[in-house]
Amino acid sequence: MPIKGAHGLIGKQVADSEGVEMGYVSSEDDQFLTIAEGPVGKLRLGRRFIASSAEKVLLRGPAREIFAGLNVVDNQGEFLGIVRDTMETEDVLDSLLVEDEGGEMVSVLLEDIKTIDEWVDLDISSDDVYGKQESGG
C-alpha cells in the first residue's frame, strides 16, 4: 500500500478518481484516515480505499464504484442495507444511496457515517435515517 505508515497527510484534500471531493484529512493512523470539513463531520475512511497521496489523497476509483456493495450497519449494530450509489453536490460527495431490505432506496448523509471500511458504520440509528427521509433531509 503506497501510503502505509506515511505521515504528513493532515490537511490534504481527499477525492475520488473523478475529482469528487470527500473533505480533508484531519488525522491518520495505520488503518484509517479521519476526514473532516466539507459535508463530512468526522468520517474514518479505511486506507484500503486509498490509491495514492501526492498533492491530494486519491481514492482507488470513483466513489460510487468503490463503495458500492458495502453493507451498512446503524449505530445499534442493525443491518440497514447495501450501498448502491452515491450522490454529489457540486463535485463534493454528499451521501450514499442505500437499498434497504425491503428494496427501498434511502439516502445516508456522509455526516451521519462514522466509518467506511469493510462495511459502512453509521453514527445514527436506522430510525433516524428513515426520519430524515420523511423530513426531506
pLDDT tens figures, 3-23: 444 458 999 999 999 999 999
| Listed range (39-43, 46-50, 57-61, 102-106) with the worst mean pLDDT | 39-43
To the question of pTM greater than 0.85 for the whole model, the response is yes
CB under 8 A, 24+ apart: contacts of 47-54: 47/1, 47/3, 47/4, 48/1, 48/117, 49/116, 50/1, 50/2, 50/3, 51/2, 51/17, 52/2, 52/3, 53/2, 53/3, 53/6, 53/9, 53/12
Taking a C-beta distance cutoff of 8 angstroms, is the pair 28, 72 a contact? no
Helical segments of 17-75, H only: 63-66
